[in-house]
Amino acid sequence: MPSGCCATSPTIARRRSGSTRGCSSSGSARSDASTRRARSTSSIDDEIEKALKKRVELKSGGYLIIDQTEALTTVDVNTGGFVGARNFDDTVFKTNLEAAQAIARQLRLRNLGGIIILDFIDMAREEHQAAVLAELKKQLARDRTRVTVSGFTQLGLVEMTRKRTRESLAHLLCEPCPTCQGRGEVKTARSVCHDILREILREARQFNPKEFRVVASASVVEMLLDEESQNLAGLSDFIGKPISLRAEPFPSPEQYDIVLL
């Protein structure tokens, strides 16, 4: 009986050891798969983030500026820091060739449709124009969406259309900026100051309060106290009413309130 026990124990130990090794291998495989998925997700997130930016960097040092509006999309090609090894013509040609490849990819990635205007860097040689146009058409041939490309116009632009299949990536993931209302810019503090002064004058003609209080962003209040202080004092004397100021953290620097006290 003792010998039987001794003969059985190593077998059980070996099975357990084998089972342990199997679990370790399986866990390692799951870990590797999770790592690959995490890297893939991170790569996709990076591509989406880049596709939402107006500026697209080229490997040569040049870059694209992509502007999307309701009517059309424009793509402007720039050399940036790429100066070339031989002459400026070679620099322009190489940048435009790389841009043609990048443009075709960005159109697919961003799902841009409708009228698209491409503003390549001006090329003096017609063979360079033909080569860039051929490269563009070659890259666009991979696109499953119907694309029509015209040649270079007299202004050096390339006009093309791409069928709209669904909303562009920017329209799906973004909304108009609440600060600028989608304009892409806001009024300067000085412009807002002038708006405020004109509004106070209009209010003074209709109402007769004891005091006008301006509630505006800190930058506007600072401007009224500094560079626009003489205009503010002159208006106060003209309407015969004191004008006080109070800074508030408005979401937009263009926002303000005029309180009649």
What is the pTM (predicted TM-score) of this model?
0.60
At 85-118, the pLDDT tens digits run 567 788 889 999 999 999 999 998 888 889 999 9
Using CA atoms, how far apart are residues 118 and 129, in angstroms rounded to an integer?
A: 13
At 29-58, the pLDDT tens digits run 555 655 555 555 556 677 777 777 888 888
Among 221, 212, 209, which residue's Cα sits nearest to residue 246?
A: 221
Distances (CA, A) of 50 to 46, 55, 68, 177, 198: 6, 8, 15, 18, 43
Tell how far CA 145 is from the center of its chain: 24
Phi, psi of 252 (to 5 degrees): -120, 140
